[in-house]
Amino acid sequence: MSPTSTLPNVEDLNPQKRLALIQVLGAITYGELKAYNGAMEQSKLVESEQDKKIYRKIAAEELRHHKGFSRRLEALGADIERAMAPYKDSLDSYHSSKVTDPIAGAVAGYLGEGIASDMLNWLKKVSDVETSQFIDTVIEDETEHEQIAIEKLKDLIASTPLGWLKAQIGVQQMLFRMIRASNPSSVKGPRSFGAFLKLGRSNDLVYALTTGMSKRVLSLDLGPRPLKLPKFAGKLPGLAFASPR
């Protein structure tokens, strides 16, 4: 039995489930558009032709995801712009907060791809059969994006003085930006994301997002480590300096 064979067709969805699915797809569809814009921007910032090619390919894939989810919204009888509207404030706010440190930017890129994959793995189990089949093709791309993101991040950490510390700070900054962008005082804030909890298997979603993020942070090996100070041949003026080795 194929994993999607137990899922309903669009016409079999009850009205509450259809509405929750439209709301969730609205968030995902807008998120894919933001991912496309971000990859295009990145393709202009990187210097090597090879990197430009990588980000242009990622951008093309994100655009395919955006268009594919837009078509699923249409299949559900939804207006695409109306479905995306409640999520624009939060996602625009998150993506517009400037990250100046390249490592913090790479951390956000890597963890962001991971969140997308975790969310899609949940969504494919609670959506209609055709959306679920489309999501399988998206996850294939997202897995590759995540791999590219972690390789770039690990290279950066290894080649930057105190790179691991900057990555730790990057994780905290990302969490802060996520909380700030959710804007608890706005009706377009967390309440818009309530549809995610109404669609089904909400425990699976919460579990996947929280464990997914900590698993990825742990995989970066960002635990505390001894600070290696430079050796000094003599005394600094006015200061008896004990070299660590």
Nearest approach, Cβ of residue 35 and Fe ion (Å): 5
Residue 34 binds Fe ion, judged by CB under 5 A: no
Residues 56, 73: Cα–Cα separation, whole Å = 26
Nearest approach, Cβ of residue 28 and Fe ion (Å): 9
Comparison of 65 and 166: residue with beta carbon closer to Fe ion: 65
Site stretch for Fe ion (CB under 5 A), options 29-37, 99-107, 220-228, 233-241:
29-37
Which residues, 6 or more positions from 228, have their beta carbon under 8 angstroms from its beta carbon?
Answer: 244
Comparison of 45 and 187: residue with beta carbon closer to Fe ion: 45
Comparison of 13 and 24: residue with beta carbon closer to Fe ion: 24
Residue 124 binds Fe ion, judged by CB under 5 A: no
Comparison of 18 and 177: residue with beta carbon closer to Fe ion: 177
Nearest approach, Cβ of residue 46 and Fe ion (Å): 16
Site stretch for Fe ion (CB under 5 A), options 6-14, 34-42, 74-82, 182-190:
34-42
Contact string (CB under 5 A) for Fe ion, positions 128-147, x = contact: --------------x--x--
Comparison of 32 and 118: residue with beta carbon closer to Fe ion: 32
Residue 166 binds Fe ion, judged by CB under 5 A: no
Residue 118 binds Fe ion, judged by CB under 5 A: no
Nearest approach, Cβ of residue 50 and Fe ion (Å): 19
Nearest approach, Cβ of residue 6 and Fe ion (Å): 25
SS3 readout for the chain: CCCCCCCCCHHHCCHHHHHHHHHHHHHHHHHHHHHHHHHHHHHHHCCCHHHHHHHHHHHHHHHHHHHHHHHHHHHCCCCHHHHHHHHHHHHHHHHHCCCCCHHHHHHHHHHHHHHHHHHHHHHHHHCCHHHHHHHHHHHHHHHHHHHHHHHHHHHHHHHCCCHHHHHHHHHHHHHHHHHHHCCCCCCCCHHHHHHHHHCCCHHHHHHHHHHHHHHHHHHCCCCCCCCCCCCCCCCECCECCCCCC
Residues 2, 8: Cα–Cα separation, whole Å = 13
**Stretch 62-91 residues interacting with Fe ion (CB under 5 A):** 62, 65
Residues 1, 94: Cα–Cα separation, whole Å = 41
**Stretch 35-64 residues interacting with Fe ion (CB under 5 A):** 35, 62
Nearest residue relative to Fe ion (C-beta): 145
Contacts with Fe ion by CB under 5 A lie at 32, 35, 62, 65, 142, 145
